[in-house]
């Protein structure tokens, strides 16, 4: 059961200066407003792409959309989702046309309440038969085409996942870092035997889902080859990626930090985000060094990591979590925020901030992520079905998209 009593308004005005609705504006009434510090029963007026007024209480302007007690939330902000890959490569050996894949991905995000997204696209794959490299350029072309022709419902930006041990990384990355929609570069190293694949069996299992299989003898050879590849390429390409990030002013994140040395390296190279630390020790080190910590909402919903890494709920309960990411399952993002409230002792506004205001601030979006006057009208109507939050409607920049 979601507890609201301690945060619900007691009739105090949210904002002074009540006025009649502006010409061309529309209004929402009888909503549970998700403010930064509390939940208040009230309403909102929207004009153009902005929230122009919030009020506390039962005021019901003529023609207002009656929320009947449903939540009014800011649109969710996702900084790392691999969801597009599932549409581009729906089965092993099957590639889907990029534009319909992009549109299906976009629609699924909005249905999950995500109004601003950083599409995480992999630059390199240690097992090139995995399909990621072949789909990258088609995916980017589809994104540009869909944006140019106003086919997208969400606001899309880019997150480039730089596979440091893949030999072709710098040649692929250099022309892409100048894109105006790039918001984040993350430093990946999926060499088996460390980080996410500390247990090399997880590496073998992951690629088997893409149709790549090895005999035991072949797998031993693959492990040796990947470690040699790491020795040859990682440090050189790390320096090259960091130079590109510096030159273009792009935010940098580390990824799958497992021990204190990984976090120290992240700090040394100027990373500001620690994505998906795999151990509590790494998360504590990231907290002590001032990094923003991202954990998987899917981890929260499932009750633990599918790869045997630290549980996100443990990070939340020990103060080592700032931002949730849906990663591979868009619907986990909103549900994960409510789980933070229900199981980790966070207030509901604190929990919702992990998928709205906090990622907005870290990524440099100064116009969204909050219900506040003058802020962008990315809005969600959310109804509780038992303990499950359900997105009933969504507005992006003031326009209803769902």
Q: Report CA-CA distances (Å) from 381 to 85, 161, 182, 334, 343.
A: 28, 32, 29, 12, 23
Q: Which residue has the higher pLDDT, 93 or 29?
A: 29
Span 10-15, average pLDDT: 38
Please state the separation of Cα 273 from the chain's center in Å.
12
Model pLDDT, residue 291: 98
Name the residue among 381, 356, 380, 354 with its Cα closest to residue 367: 356
Model pLDDT, residue 23: 61
Model pLDDT, residue 286: 98
Model pLDDT, residue 1: 30
Q: Is 174 exposed, middle or buried (0-12, 13-18, 19+ CB in 10 A)?
A: middle
Span 103-128, average pLDDT: 92
Radius of gyration of the chain measured on its C-alpha atoms? 22
Q: Which residue has the higher pLDDT, 73 or 211?
A: 73
pLDDT above 90 coverage of the chain, percent: 75
Span 68-97, average pLDDT: 94
Q: Quick check: 104 and 65 in contact, CB under 8 A?
A: no
Span 155-175, average pLDDT: 94
Which CATH fold topology does 76-363 show?
TIM Barrel (3.20.20)
Q: Among 203-217, 218-232, 288-302, name the one with the lowest average pLDDT.
A: 203-217
Name the residue among 343, 261, 347, 336 with its Cα closest to residue 294: 336
Our CA angle for 264, 265, 267, nearest 5°, is 65
SS3 386: coil
Q: Among 189-198, 209-218, 328-337, name the one with the lowest average pLDDT.
A: 189-198
Span 234-244, average pLDDT: 95
Helices (runs of H) and strands (runs of E) counted in the chain: 13, 16
Model pLDDT, residue 127: 66
- Band the pLDDT of 197: cuts 50, 70, 90: low
pLDDT for 121-135, tens place per residue? 999 876 665 556 678
Residue 8 has pLDDT above 50, yes or no: no
pLDDT for 348-398, tens place per residue? 999 999 999 999 999 999 999 999 999 999 999 999 999 999 999 999 999
Entry pTM: 0.88
Q: Which residue has the higher pLDDT, 193 or 273?
A: 273
Q: Where are the domains of the chain?
A: 1-73+371-402, 76-363
Answer CATH for 1-73+371-402 from 1.20.1050.10, 3.30.360.10, 2.30.40.10, 3.40.50.300? 2.30.40.10
Which of the 8 DSSP states describes residue 190?
A: -
pLDDT for 77-91, tens place per residue? 999 999 999 999 898
pLDDT for 166-191, tens place per residue? 888 999 999 999 999 999 999 998 77
Q: How far apart, in whole angstroms, are the C-alpha atoms of residue 187 and residue 245?
A: 11
Span 149-154, average pLDDT: 98
Model pLDDT, residue 227: 85
Q: Mean pLDDT score of the chain, rounded to an integer? A: 89
- Band the pLDDT of 92: cuts 50, 70, 90: confident
């Amino acid at each position: 059961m979601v507890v609201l009593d301690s945060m619900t308004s007691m009739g105090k005005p949210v904002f002074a200066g009540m006025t009649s609705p502006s010409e061309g504006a529309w209004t929402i009434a009888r909503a549970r407003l998700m403010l930064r510090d509390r939940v208040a029963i009230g309403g909102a007026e929207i004009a153009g792409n902005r929230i122009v007024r919030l009020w506390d209480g039962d005021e019901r302007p003529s023609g207002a959309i009656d929320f009947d007690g449903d939540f009014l939330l800011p649109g969710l902000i996702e900084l790392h989702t691999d969801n597009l890959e599932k549409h581009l490569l729906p089965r092993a050996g099957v590639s889907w046309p990029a534009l319909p894949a992009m549109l299906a991905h976009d629609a699924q995000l909005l249905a999950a309440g995500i109004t601003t997204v950083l599409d995480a696209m992999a630059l390199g794959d240690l097992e090139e038969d995995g399909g990621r490299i072949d789909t990258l350029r088609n995916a980017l072309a589809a994104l540009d085409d869909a944006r140019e022709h106003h086919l997208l419902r969400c606001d899309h930006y880019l997150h480039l996942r730089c596979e440091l041990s893949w030999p072709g990384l710098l040649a692929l990355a250099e022309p892409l870092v100048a894109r105006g929609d790039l918001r984040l570069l993350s430093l990946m190293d999926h060499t088996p035997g460390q980080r996410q694949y500390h247990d090399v069996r997880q590496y073998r299992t992951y690629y088997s889902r893409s149709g790549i299989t090895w005999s035991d003898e072949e797998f031993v050879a693959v492990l040796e080859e990947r470690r040699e590849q790491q020795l040859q390429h990682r440090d050189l390409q790390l320096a090259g990626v960091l130079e590109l990030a510096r030159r273009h002013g792009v935010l940098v994140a580390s990824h799958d930090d497992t021990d204190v040395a990984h976090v120290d390296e992240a700090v040394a190279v100027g990373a500001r985000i620690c994505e998906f630390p795999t151990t509590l020790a790494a998360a504590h080190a990231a907290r002590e060094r001032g990094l923003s910590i991202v954990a998987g909402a899917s981890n929260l919903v499932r009750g633990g990591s599918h790869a045997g890494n630290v549980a996100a709920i443990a990070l939340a309960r020990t103060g080592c979590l700032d931002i949730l990411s849906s990663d591979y399952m868009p619907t986990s993002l909103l549900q994960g925020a409510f789980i933070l409230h229900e199981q980790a002792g966070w207030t509901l506004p604190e929990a919702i901030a992990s998928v709205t205001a906090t990622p907005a601030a870290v990524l440099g979006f100064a116009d969204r992520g909050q219900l506040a006057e003058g802020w962008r009208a990315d809005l969600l109507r959310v109804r509780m079905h038992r303990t499950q939050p359900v997105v009933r409607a969504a507005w992006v920049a003031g326009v209803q998209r769902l």
